[in-house]
Amino acid sequence: MPGQPSPALPFEWVGGSPALDFTNTVSWTAPEPTNERLRSYADLVRWTGEAGLADAGEIRSLGRRHWSAGRRASSPAALSCSR
């Protein structure tokens, strides 16, 4: 469902830095990208929390701001950071 985090494809934390781990949010096994892990704003917010770039309060705030703006994001309660 659009706007919901996509837990079926876990993030990979092998780059040693958030910039490199961000590039690992998609798998390139063919001429085109496959297994995109950032399919929605909710996924990006979840990645940000799991990467340690924002604490739980900031994650909730990002979700609430997006939700209150009437955009298609998951509910703020579904956005969490658990790495």
Domain annotation covers residue 57 = yes
Domain annotation covers residue 2 = no
40 CB-side CA count, 13 A: 21
User: Looking at the 3D structure of the chain, how many domains does it have?
Assistant: 1
Per-residue pLDDT tens digits for 38-76: 888 888 999 999 999 999 999 999 888 777 766 554 444
Domain annotation covers residue 3 = no
The predicted pLDDT at position 26 comes to: 84
Domain annotation covers residue 61 = yes
82 pLDDT band, cuts 50/70/90, is low
- pTM for the model: 0.66
Per-residue pLDDT tens digits for 6-33: 556 788 889 999 999 998 888 777 677 6
What one-letter code names the amino acid at 66? Answer: H
Range of the domain at 83: 40-83
